[in-house]
Structure 1
Amino acid sequence: MMHTDVVIVGAGPAGLCLANALGDAGLSIALVEQQSREALCEPAFDGREIALTQKSVAFLKTLGVWKRIDAHAKSRLADARIFNGSSPFALKIGHALSGHAELGWLVPNHLIRRAAFEAVEHLRASGADIRVMASERVIDVDTDATGARVQLESGETLMAQLVVAADSRYSATRRMMGIAAAMHDFGKSMLVCCMTHDGPHDHAAWEWFGHRQTLALLPMNPDPESGAHRSSVVVTLAARDIERLSRLDGDAFSREIERRFERRLGGMALRSTRHVYPLVSVYPKRFVAKRFATVGDAAVGMHPVTAHGFNFGLDGIETLSRAILDAHAARLDIAGDALLARYEQKHRQATRPLYMMTRLITEVYTRDSMPALIVRDAMLRIGERLTPFKRAVAMSLAGR
Structure 2
Amino acid sequence: MPEHTIADVAIVGAGPAGLCLAVELAALGLSVSVVDRAPYHALAAPGDDGREIALTHTSRRQLAWAGIWQRIDTQSVAPIREARLYNGEAPQGMTLAGSERAASQTIGQLVPNRVIRRAAFEAALADSRITLITGKGVSALETTSGARTLRLDDGSRLSARLVVAADGRLSATRRMAGLPAHLEDTGRKVLVCRMAHERPHGEMTWSWFGYERALALLPLNDQSSSVVMTLTPAEAERLEVLDDDAFSAAVSGFYRHCLGDMQRVGELHGYPLWVGYAQRLAAERLALIGDAAIGLHPATAHGFNVGLASVHRLVREISLAHRRGQDIGSSTLLSAYERTHLRATRPLWLASQAVVSLYGDQRPPARFVRQAALGLARQVGPLRWGLEHYLLRDAH
TM-score normalised by the shorter chain: which range applies? over 0.9
- For 1:96 and 1:66, the matched residues in 2 are separated by 27
Q: Please give the per-residue CA displacement for 1:144-164, whole angstroms capped at 9, x wherever unaligned.
A: 562111100111111110100
Instruction: Say if 2:279 is the partner of 1:257.
Output: no
Q: 2:111 aligns with which of 101, 107, 111?
A: 107
Cα pair 2:137 2:152 within 8 Å, conserved: yes
Name the residue aligned to 2:124: 120
Cα pair 2:38 2:136 within 8 Å, conserved: yes
- For 1:236 and 1:337, the matched residues in 2 are separated by 40
Name the residue aligned to 1:217: 217
The residue type paired with residue 9 of structure 1 is V
Instruction: Say if 2:65 is the partner of 1:65.
Output: no
- For 1:155 and 1:18, the matched residues in 2 are separated by 26
Residues 220-259 of structure 1 aligned to structure 2 (within 5 Å):
220-222=220-222, 229-259=223-253
Residues 179-198 of structure 1 aligned to structure 2 (within 5 Å):
179-198=179-198
Name the residue aligned to 2:91: 88
- For 2:139 and 2:392, the matched residues in 1 are separated by 39
Q: 2:13 aligns with which of 3, 10, 26?
A: 10
Cα pair 1:145 1:290 within 8 Å, conserved: no
Is there any run of 5+ residues in structure 1 with no aligned partner, and where?
223-228
Residues 258-337 of structure 1 aligned to structure 2 (within 5 Å):
258-337=252-331
Deviation at residue 399 of structure 1 after TM alignment:
5.4
- For 2:72 and 2:92, the matched residues in 1 are separated by 36
Q: Please give the per-residue CA displacement for 1:275-320, whole angstroms capped at 9, x wherever unaligned.
A: 1111211011210000000100001011111111111110010110
CA separation of 1:98 and 1:18: change in aligned 2, threshold 3 A: farther
Cα pair 1:96 1:102 within 8 Å, conserved: no
Name the residue aligned to 1:148: 148
Instruction: Say if 2:177 is the partner of 1:173.
Output: no
Name the residue aligned to 1:205: 205
Q: Please give the per-residue CA displacement for 1:35-81, whole angstroms capped at 9, x wherever unaligned.
A: 11111111111111111111111111101111111101111111111
| Matched residue SS, 1:170 | coil
| Matched residue SS, 1:161 | strand
The residue type paired with residue 35 of structure 2 is V
| Matched residue SS, 2:274 | strand
Deviation at residue 96 of structure 1 after TM alignment:
5.7
- For 2:277 and 2:47, the matched residues in 1 are separated by 28
The residue type paired with residue 107 of structure 1 is V
CA separation of 1:288 and 1:145: change in aligned 2, threshold 3 A: farther
The residue type paired with residue 66 of structure 2 is L
- For 2:349 and 2:100, the matched residues in 1 are separated by 23
The percent identity for this pair of structures is: 42
Name the residue aligned to 2:134: 134
Instruction: Say if 2:92 is the partner of 1:79.
Output: no
Deviation at residue 365 of structure 1 after TM alignment:
1.5
Q: Please give the per-residue CA displacement for 1:122-175, whole angstroms capped at 9, x wherever unaligned.
A: 223xxxx21100101110112256211110011111111010000010000111
Cα pair 1:2 1:158 within 8 Å, conserved: yes
Instruction: Say if 2:33 is the partner of 1:30.
Output: yes
- For 1:215 and 1:377, the matched residues in 2 are separated by 17
Q: TM-score, normalised by structure 1?
A: 0.94
| Matched residue SS, 2:294 | coil
- For 1:7 and 1:168, the matched residues in 2 are separated by 16
The residue type paired with residue 210 of structure 2 is G
The residue type paired with residue 204 of structure 1 is M
Residues 153-164 of structure 1 aligned to structure 2 (within 5 Å):
153-164=153-164
| Matched residue SS, 1:116 | helix
Name the residue aligned to 1:382: 376
Q: Please report the RMSD computed on the Cα atoms of aligned residues, expressed in angstroms.
A: 1.5
| Matched residue SS, 2:295 | coil
Deviation at residue 200 of structure 1 after TM alignment:
1.9
The residue type paired with residue 310 of structure 2 is G
Q: Please give the per-residue CA displacement for 1:216-254, whole angstroms capped at 9, x wherever unaligned.
A: 0111111xxxxxx21110111111211221222211111
| Matched residue SS, 1:278 | strand
| Matched residue SS, 1:364 | helix
Deviation at residue 371 of structure 1 after TM alignment:
2.9
- For 2:154 and 2:373, the matched residues in 1 are separated by 56
- For 2:352 and 2:11, the matched residues in 1 are separated by 29
- For 2:280 and 2:370, the matched residues in 1 are separated by 34
- For 1:395 and 1:43, the matched residues in 2 are separated by 34
Is there any run of 5+ residues in structure 2 with no aligned partner, and where?
none
- For 1:95 and 1:261, the matched residues in 2 are separated by 21
